Structure formats: structure tokens, C-alpha cells
Amino acid sequence: MAREQKNNQPHICFVSSSGGHWEQLQKLKPLAEKYDGFFVTEKTQFETPLSKYFMLQTDLKDRWMPLKMLFNFTHAVFIWFRERPDFVITTGTMIAYPFYLMTILFRKKFVFIETFGRANMPTVAGKKMEKHSDLFIVQWESQKRFYKKAIYGGCLY
């Protein structure tokens, strides 16, 4: 069942992996409350009551990563058609890829916020997702040199 749009406000999907990326993304809760947003993160042993949807946790070193990514992509498609977001905002990483691809496919807006933890080097996710991002924000002035589209937005902490 598709959601009903509230007061013609944009519907925003906030998605990130667990850990530090998730800690940073949660700082955008006031934005989610103002603009009809929902959160997606990885399922871990830690309680994350802010998240509406949970994906499988994975990383590049996980031998089950391809299968988990296939599952996550399928789950992301379900979430996408149920929620129909106008924007996707992410701090990274792997669970954001399916949502990133769907923003391209369905011509929605994509905002990438580079992680606070990488002041002096780019991330793989940032390098890959910058190309189709509508807004690419870095949290350190020093990060701007790694990305063509980057703007400095300050830190989320």
C-alpha cells in the first residue's frame, strides 16, 4: 500500500549503514519530522527505534555480501514503492546503493553527506555517488579537494 502525502511536503528517505554513519544521520531527525521523513539502516544487536526499515548488515569483506546485497536491493525496491520518496539523504555506505540507483532511475533528488570520519581522504561511496548527487555535502573543508561537486556544510555533531 502506497503512503499518502502529507500537506504536499516532500517525503524523504534517510538511509545509512550502522555505526558512525547512522549516528551522523540521526542528527537529521528534526528535518525528518519537518518534512515527512523515514529512516532505513542495518539491523544490528543495538536498538535503533528511529528506523522504520532494517536491511541486512554487510561489508566488502563479508563472503555473503553478494547475496546480502541482492536481498537488500529487493527489500529497498519494496520500501521504495511503499514509501515513494521524493528525496534520499545518506551518509553512506553499502545499503545506500540501491536507493541511490533508484533516485537515478525514478529521477528523484539525491543528497550525499560525506562521513565526518574521513577528513583527509575520500570514501569509495562518496566517489561513486557524487556523479548523480543533486547535493554533495562534506563535513570538513579539507574534503572539498577530493570532490568536484562538494560544498562544505559543517559537521553534524
Please tell me what DSSP assigns to residue 78: H
Q: Please, are residues 70 and 55 in contact by the beta-carbon 8 Å criterion?
A: no
Q: Please, are residues 147 and 122 in contact by the beta-carbon 8 Å criterion?
A: yes
Residues in the chain: 157
DSSP-assigned beta bridge partners for residue 107 = none
- Counting the structural domains of the chain, the total is 1
* Structural domain includes residue 37: yes
Residue-by-residue pLDDT tens, the chain, 157 positions: 455 556 688 999 999 999 889 999 999 999 999 999 999 999 988 877 888 999 999 887 889 999 999 999 999 999 999 999 999 999 988 999 999 999 999 999 999 999 898 888 999 999 999 999 999 999 999 999 999 999 999 988 6
Determine the residue type at 21. H
* Structural domain includes residue 133: yes
78: CATH: 3.40.50.2000
- Parent domain of 117: 12-152
| The pLDDT value given to residue 9 | 86
* Structural domain includes residue 5: no
* Structural domain includes residue 71: yes
* Structural domain includes residue 82: yes
* Structural domain includes residue 113: yes
* Structural domain includes residue 117: yes
* Structural domain includes residue 7: no
Buried b (16+ CB within 10 A) or exposed e, 89-104: bbbbbbbbbbbbbbbe
pTM here is 0.90
